[in-house]
Amino acid sequence: MTRPFRFGVNMLTPGVGDEWRKRCRRAEELGYDVILVPDHLGMPAPFPAVVAAAYATERPRVGTFVLNAAFWKPALLAREIATTDALTDGRLEVGLGTGYVREEHERAQVEWRSPGARVDHLRRVVEELDRLLDDESHVPQSVQRPRPPLLIGANGDRMLRLTAKHAEIAAFPGARTGKDGMLLPLTAEELDERVAAYRRFAAGRETPAELNLLVQRVTVGPDRRAAARELMPYVPHLTEEQVLDLPLMLAGTTRQIADQLREQRERYGFSYITVLDPAMETFAPVIEELRGT
């Protein structure tokens, strides 16, 4: 069954008071289904920001995209999730990841662990959240039972297995972290393989997860190749055709981008599309096109 599209905007830019509320209301006006906040130093603190977003709007859900598990102890995180879900009237979605920016760990005075140890910690956090939030004696209680929907962002096999076992939303960043901490885009074929691996791990699920794609770049205009050429200095190992085919880059006219997303939904199963807030206005006509308004 083909899922209908959902659209999220990840709010990277800090805002205060009425400015923040206006931006959230604007996201709602533009048709976004989810207002999201990351968990990076130098960006908005996630839980107060999503509560403010929910108070400023009526329709969109709100969520974290994604929490750095290394910054959180399970019991404290369970309290934050349950309280936030209650304050947002059950509109919360919880995104979790391992954290991948070493410099942020150092600034936060949090131990920088190996990739395997970061996955181990995330697994423990997820399992404890499931246990704590499913416990009827836990105070506070979340509105959504047994807990709000969980999104896990993943690429590697261990992370994909964890996602397949626990998450209602499987998020694909469309990139991997290089040795220098920089994000390296996955080609269309590499993403094919990662999605196929996830589907193998998730074969026993009773209810299929929703699949999410994080789009890093949106360029609306008549010349798709010009947009690709702008990106090529950052990915010199790829051809122009491969850049045009990158799932994390959307380029072309509104109709071309809408067609690209329809094709990706057919190819990979991505129905939940997240863009970054600098592209919030630019991407809005694509939402209209895909909804037929």
Return the pLDDT at 44: 87
Please report, as a single letter, which amino acid is at residue 63: G
Q: What is the DSSP string of 90-101?
A: S-EEEEEE----
pLDDT confidence of residue 14: 77
Q: Is the pTM of this model over 0.75?
A: yes
Give the per-residue pLDDT at 179.
67
Residue 274 DSSP symbol: E
DSSP track, the chain: -PPPPEEEEE--S---HHHHHHHHHHHHHHT-SEEEE---TTS--HHHHHHHHHHH-SS-EEEES-EEGGG--HHHHHHHHHHHHHHTTS-EEEEEE----HHHHHHTT-----HHHHHHHHHHHHHHHHHHHH-TT-SSPPSSSS-S-EEEE--SHHHHHHHHHH-SEEEE-SEEE-TTS-EEEPPHHHHHHHHHHHHHHTTT-SSPPEEEEEE-EEEESS-HHHHHHHHGGG-TTS-HHHHHT-TTEEEE-HHHHHHHHHHHHHHT-EEEEEEEGGGHHHHHHHHHHHHT-
In order of their start, the domains of the chain are 6-291 (3.20.20.30)
pLDDT at 181: 63
The residue ranges of the chain whose pLDDT is under 50 are none
> Strands 175-177 and 183-185, how do they pair?
antiparallel
According to the model, what pLDDT value does residue 1 have?
Answer: 73
